[in-house]
Amino acid sequence: MPHEPAQPPFLAVSGDVLVATPPPRDRTRTPGPYRRLFQVPGARAFTLGNLLARLPMGMFGVSAIIMIAGARGSYALAGAVTATGLATTAVVAPWTARLVDRYGQARVAVPATILAVLGSLALVLCVRLDAPLWTLFACYAATATTPNTGGMSRARWQHLLRGDGPALHTANSFEQAADELCFMLGPVLAAFLCTALFPEAGTLTGAVLLLTGVLLFTAQRSTEPPPRPRTTRTRSPLRTPGMRPLLVVFLATGAVFGAMEVVTVAYAEHRGHPSAAGLILGLQAAGSCLAGLLYGTLRVSGPLPRRLLLCLAAMTALMSLPLLAASTGSLLLLAGALLLAGMATAPTMVTGMTMVQRLTPDGRLNEGMTLAVTGLLGGIACGAAMGGWAVEHLGPSPAYLVPVSAAALALLLHTLGRRHDVMSGQGAGPAPVSPG
């Protein structure tokens, strides 16, 4: 392919001398991947609404714990209420996502969000009015109808970028970075509002942000994927070859996050600096956010299962750093180790979510993405329980073995799943799992 000739210099007269000046800088160079991404019509508008709606996802749990524990004097009760909401979400969320796929995002997400917001407001009233304990569980369980806004956003990107693998890889990387950013800022904002203003401020602010964000997001109808009516015959994502083993990997990956959070909080308290736990965990999320944005600029290649294998191996290796740092007793070293460990998180999640998109049958994308999130939530709950047990029986420093073991388990499960697919000849499911 012939190269274009170099542009000759311009000649200019300076006094009596003819001077050669360099040519003007080419301003038509190709924009970066993220600039190209947000040049898609309507992308900026639905992304803004989605970020507003997603930020409360990191606020509600912390806000509820502070509010309930402050009013009733029991962290056990507060934890039980939030655990009940998490379990209810694991059951309700896939059904909500199925309705979104069938009837459209706007028709389902808005009423589902209103019901969830009413549940949050009812929880505030029950806490303020000293209502019976069962009302707290019922109100928080009602918030399980909150739609998976991250999944809906990814569904829009796939609808808009269909056939453009590199652009979809950038979009998935951005969405994962946005998840990390929201879960990094959400707890900090919630704790600040609940302590600086009044205990109910975090829940009320989260409810307002959620409703406002969903209304702005769903108002962008031009980018909404078309609904798939009931007459469309597509099998459940759970029946797709390769999906169930992948969801088990998500379950183990979620255990990494849940255990890391509990163990880090316990370690900081054991070292006499409980307030440092939020900052240290924020560094882990910051590392993941930066890695996700960088990963989105790369032109990745190779089969997705192999890329996920490499990402899980890197995550397992980097998760050993906090274990080594904790043995020194230095919070500063632990913070640096968590920053590095977090850098393997986003690439792993981006690759895993891309596999979910490829394996999910057409017309069931929101359901498939929500199943993956449900697997993560279940893993977070299990990891938190195992991390708490390890702190009680082994001590805070050795308890960092739990997230390392969970990462190694995710790697082992994916390896076994790949071997089973090869031996059974199932391949990658209904859609080719090919380079990004």
Residues whose CB is less than 8 angstroms from the CB of residue 208 and which lie 6 or more positions away in sequence, other chains included: none
Q: Which of 12-21, 53-62, 315-324, 405-414 has the lowest mean pLDDT?
A: 12-21
Mean pLDDT of 104-131: 89
Using the predicted structure, report yes or no on whether residue 126 has a pLDDT greater than 50: yes
Least confident range from 78-92, 127-141, 239-253, 418-432: namely: 418-432
Q: pTM, whole model, 2 decimals?
A: 0.71
Query: By three-state DSSP, how is residue 17 classified?
Result: strand
Lowest mean pLDDT among 110-124, 261-275, 344-358: 261-275
Q: What is the pLDDT of residue 423?
A: 46
* 56 CB neighbour count, 10 Å cutoff: 29
Task: Look up the CATH number of domain 237-436.
Answer: 1.20.1250.20
Instruction: Report the distance separating Cα 54 and Cα 206, nearest Å.
Output: 10
- Reported confidence tier of residue 434, pLDDT bands at 50, 70, 90: very low
- Give one DSSP letter per residue of 266-301, joined into a string: HHHHHTT-TTHHHHHHHHHHHHHHHHHHHHHTS---
Q: How far apart are CA 371 and CA 377, in angstroms?
A: 10
Nearby residues of 424 by Cβ (< 8 Å), 6 or more positions away: none
Q: CA 319, 320, 324: angle at the middle one, nearest 5?
A: 130
DSSP 390-411: HHHHH-TTGGGHHHHHHHHHHH
Q: Are 223 and 43 in contact (CB under 8 A)?
A: yes
CATH architecture of the region 42-170+186-229: Up-down Bundle (1.20)
DSSP assignment of 314-383: HHHHHTHHHHHHHTTT-HHHHHHHHHHHHTTHHHHHHHHHHHHHHHSPTT-HHHHHHHHHHHHHHHHHHH
pLDDT at 215: 92
Q: What is the pLDDT of residue 435?
A: 37
Tell the residue number behind the tokens 């597509």, with chain if given. Answer: 234
Please give the pLDDT value at position 319: 92
Q: Hey, which of 163-172, 263-272, 332-341 has the most confident mean pLDDT?
A: 332-341
pLDDT band, very low/low/confident/very high, at 333 (cuts 50, 70, 90): very high
> Among 176, 87, 210, which residue's Cα sits nearest to residue 369?
176
Cβ-based neighbour number of residue 138 at 10 Å: 18
Q: Which range among 82-91, 101-110, 182-191, 273-282 has the greatest average pLDDT?
A: 101-110
Per-residue pLDDT, averaged over 7-27, amounts to: 50
Q: Rounded CA gap, 323 and 119, in Å?
A: 40
Confidence of residue 330 (pLDDT cuts 50, 70, 90): confident
Q: Which tens digits make up the pLDDT trace of 152-189?
A: 888 888 888 876 777 887 887 788 778 777 777 777 77
Q: Residue ranges per domain, the chain?
A: 42-170+186-229, 237-436
Average pLDDT, the chain: 79
CA distances (Å), origin 426, targets 62, 364, 405, 416, 430: 43, 21, 29, 14, 10
For 402, the token pair is 């739990």
pLDDT at 429: 44
Could you tell me which residue, 290 or 6, shows the higher pLDDT?
290
Asked, colleague to colleague, whether 42-170+186-229 and 237-436 share their fold, the answer is: yes
Look at 231 and 246; give whichever has higher pLDDT: 246
Confidence of residue 230 (pLDDT cuts 50, 70, 90): low
Q: In this predicted structure, what is the pLDDT of residue 18?
A: 47
The residue behind tokens 């736990």 is: 277
